Chains A and B, each alone.
Chain A
Amino acid sequence: MLILVERCLEQPLIKRLLLLLLGVAVLFAIDLRGTGIGELLRPALGDPAESGLWGRFSYAVVLAVAIAINVVLVNLLPRRIQTLFVWVELLVLFLAFFWSFDLSYAFIAKRIGFLISQGAFTTIYISLVSSAIACVIALVMALAKMSSNAVSYGFASFYISFFRGLPLLMQIYLIYIGLPQMGFVVDPVPAGIAALSICYGAYLAEIFRAGILGVPRGQREAAAALGLKPGLIMRKIVLPQAMKLIVPPIGNQFIAMLKDSSLVSVVGVWELTFLARTQGRAEFKHLEMLITASLVYWAMSICFEMIQSRIETHYAKGDRR
């Protein structure tokens, strides 16, 4: 008996039918009566609120079958266009979701110029400068943590543990409010850049260390056998090969830093999140500005992703046959 069930389950058609049933069950559990589906099927099933269990079931079935047909149709397209098509469909779904908020597009059009020219520009500026400084700090800390010198190791491990352990917001406050107590009065933008570089330097140090450890030991031994000095080995042999392992996680962190730079707004820097929030609050229309700012952040992340992809191709040259 069990073998029969197993054989049945291996048939692709049965698998897809079971998936469809699962979809119907999930959509049934989420009561779709109050949503647009209910309104769409009003001619057939009457008032959504009063259609009871049968109504809920029908809405679930209709939506599940619609998604299934969609998937089948997309699979019929040529391979290359399929991915693009899925992207476009998901994008349209999200935009429809935003459109349902009933936003005031005139307000967005009025404010978006300054949002981008001041906000996006400041965010990118802060992120790029912090990334550069963080990379330098990270390389130094990673090498220090792998060294046999106890002072270097102690310093590096303390730095990494402390600045990964403190929340970034606390670090920004400490630098902006704490340093003046000692006599160094810092401006908001340098304080923000310092906090971001120090915090992300700690995270990136571990990524650098992982990359360097990932280069096979044989490379180092072969280089030593050829008579190269340790400094030269690190610079010319190990680091270039380590970059392949380092670039994807670092790209990840830089894109995360783009978003974390929004914390700098607490010290009064007029960057993207700060402007979105304050422009929105001025006329109590903050959802418009927040959605616009989110889409601008996404556009900037996409640019970073493209740059990362180029860098990865450059370092992967050695792998091409």
Chain B
Amino acid sequence: MTIRHMLLAGFAAAIVALAPLGATAGESLDRVMKTKTLTLSSDASYPPQSFLNDKNEMDGFDVDVGREIAKRLGAELKIITPAWEIITAGKWQGRWDISVGSMTPTKERAQVLDFPAVYYYTPAAFAVHKDSKIASLAELDGKTVGVCGGCTYEAYLNKNLVIDAEGAPAFDYKVTPGTIRTYETDTNVFDDLKIGDGKRLDAVLSAQPTIEEAIKSGMPMKLVGGPVFYEPLAVAVDRGDPEFSAKIAEIVTAMHADGTLKTLSEKWYGVDYSTVKK
């Protein structure tokens, strides 16, 4: 009897001790203000949005936006690099505070994350091999197109793209591909296109800035046609801290208003993507 009592007491004590650790919601703003550090989670393989520069530090448009947000919060920026699936899965448990990673605000993601503000709109465009004879979007019908799997680009090719964020301009499906091939990420798609025109892929669909950056780095591709749709990309925070979300929303709105986002966009892309074009 004594041992059983002791065991039960032990279990009860453990449950009571662990219960407060489960409640991390609502603490992001306090933690950031107290430690004066904003922890940003970023994908290190996504130039020019976030990548490792020559000095082996994280750099890019998304990183610069994060740095500006941290400055306006009065905090230092700290960057960690977990995998993308971990960031979009939510339940961050305070390991990082914010994600500025060109994330599209979708309904599924909104179940675990909050999207306080859209900070820019990225155009999606088709690209073909440099030696390809394709010169217009109509010629892409029936061809083999490569996209990154699970991205909005795949949904666009499958004609079931739903962008549920306000301010996104309307679009229509201009291309009906013959075969759709999916890859882990954009750079894998470009690699297969690089092998040769028509050898594995005839075309790719991806974010126009990423394609332009690849072309600048020597990938033998060229853009075909103009942007087919604009995707609003938002800052993400963990669910459950409305004050933090409100503060971030306030900061990003201010950055839109005083032209900081426009300056940063022009620095990295040469064009202002922070407001939507019709």
Residues of A with Cβ closer than 8 Å to B?
110-111, 114, 118, 173, 176-177, 180-185, 188, 265-268, 270, 274-275, 277-279, 281-286
Known: A266-B86, A267-B83, A268-B81. A110 touches B54 (CB 8 A): yes
Complex Cα–Cα for A275 and B56 (A): 9
Known: A110-B54, A180-B93, A183-B18. A268 touches B83 (CB 8 A): yes
Contact between B218 and A284, CB atoms less than 8 A apart: yes
Grouping DSSP codes into helix (H, G, I), strand (E, B) and loop, the A interface class, with mixed when no group exceeds half, is helix
Tell me the nearest residue of chain B to A281, going by C-beta.
B45
Q: Which of B80, B81, B93, B213 contacts A181 (CB 8 A)?
A: B93
1/0 per position for B193-237, CB-CB distance to A under 8 A? 000000000000000000001100111000000000000000000
B113 within 8 A of A: no
Contact between A177 and B89, CB atoms less than 8 A apart: yes
Q: Which of B41, B47, B86 contacts A176 (CB 8 A)?
A: B86
A-B contact pairs, 5 of them (CB 8 A): A188-B82, A267-B86, A270-B81, A282-B47, A282-B52
Complex Cα–Cα for A176 and B41 (A): 15
Q: How many residues of B contact A (CB 8 A)?
A: 32
Interface contacts (Cβ under 8 Å), in number, total 74
Residues of B with Cβ closer than 8 Å to A?
18, 21-22, 41, 44-47, 51-54, 56, 80-83, 85-86, 89, 91, 93-95, 187, 190-191, 213-214, 217-219
Known: A114-B56, A282-B52, A283-B217. A185 touches B81 (CB 8 A): no
Complex Cα–Cα for A110 and B190 (A): 24
Contact between B47 and A281, CB atoms less than 8 A apart: yes
Contact between B82 and A268, CB atoms less than 8 A apart: yes
Chain A contacts for B214, CB-based, 8 A: 284
Complex Cα–Cα for A283 and B56 (A): 12
Q: Please list the 4 inter-chain residue pairs (A to B) with the smallest Cβ-Cβ separation, ordered nearest first.
A: A183-B21, A180-B93, A282-B51, A278-B44
Known: A183-B22, A285-B217. A278 touches B54 (CB 8 A): no
Complex Cα–Cα for A268 and B51 (A): 14
